[in-house]
Amino acid sequence: MEGSTAPEAKAKAAVLRVAAISGSLRRGSANTGLIRAAKEICEESIPGMVIDHVDISGLPLLNTDLEVDGGFPPAVEAFRAKVRAADCFLFANPEYNYSISGPLKNALDWGSRPPNCWADRAAAILSASGGSGGSRSQYHIRQVGVFLDIHFINKPELFIRAHQPPKKFDSDGNLIDPEIREELKNVLLSLQAFALRLQCKASASEHAAMSSSSDKGD
Ligand SMILES: Cc1cc2nc3c(=O)[nH]c(=O)nc-3n(C[C@H](O)[C@H](O)[C@H](O)COP(=O)(O)O)c2cc1C
């Protein structure tokens, strides 16, 4: 059937793989807990979207002396391969001193080393933080993402004041607040819709370029 090979149909049929990165290395991290909750939500109620938690705790601090003949240390190579393989990204970041956490910035920097592994993919940001809910850190991530060519969803935004009552996370960092769980689901649905739109447009433009070159007999 003609329609079955259309770029829109191909993009919709594929499973969207989300590389999810927590900016906190703490054992009981609320941000890592948000990634676990996102994974559960996708398994339960968002068909076609799979969350892969990419652990960044083993990355060395960025030092370009560690790059030898264009190669990276094994932990960095493995991380970069996971970033390249993802269809889109989910960042869960604790605000540290009004900005991005050191571990997440380190991971963004390693992935940016040429060739940039982040480019042309959709992303969403979550933050569980202190009084600000992490808003300032989210806008810093967006700023860095401009240079990395990451395309962020604009709405909905989710800023969580992790330590304000009522209790939102248990002592292991598991999300226990049903309203935030619903808001998180809406972020994931928005990411899914936007990532699919981007993929459709990319495959439609490839399709158009191929048809135009075959019309010219290239
Ligand atoms: C070094 C440091 C700086 C922090 N700075 C801020 C801040 O600027 N704004 C804020 O809202 N919370 C700040 N916090 C609080 C953390 O964002 C908050 O405790 C968060 O829940 C930690 O995330 P986690 O549970 O995933 O580890 C800071 C915490 C640390 C350790």
Domains of the chain: residue spans and CATH:
14-215 (3.40.50.360)
The pLDDT value recorded for residue 218 is 53
Question: Distance (Å, rounded) from C-alpha 31 to C-alpha 137?
Answer: 13
In a mutational test of the pocket of ligand 1, which residue from 129, 135, 163, 180 has the highest number of ligand atoms less than 8 Å from its CB?
A: 129
3-state SS assignment for residue 217: coil
The pLDDT value recorded for residue 5 is 45
- Summarised one tens digit per residue, pLDDT across range 164-207 is 999 999 999 999 999 999 999 999 999 999 999 998 877 777 77
pLDDT interval class at 213 (50, 70, 90) = low
Using the mean position of ligand 1's atoms as its centre, give its distance from the Cα of residue 162 in Å: 9
54 lines ligand 1 (CB under 6 A): no
159 lines ligand 1 (CB under 6 A): no
Contacts of 130 (CB under 8 A, 6+ apart): 95, 161, 162, 163
- One-letter amino acid for residue 83 of the chain: V
Question: Distance (Å, rounded) from C-alpha 188 to C-alpha 156?
Answer: 9
In a mutational test of the pocket of ligand 1, which residue from 95, 100, 175 has the highest number of ligand atoms less than 8 Å from its CB?
A: 95
The pLDDT value recorded for residue 3 is 40
Query: Is the confidence at residue 12, as pLDDT, over 70?
Result: no
The pLDDT value recorded for residue 13 is 59
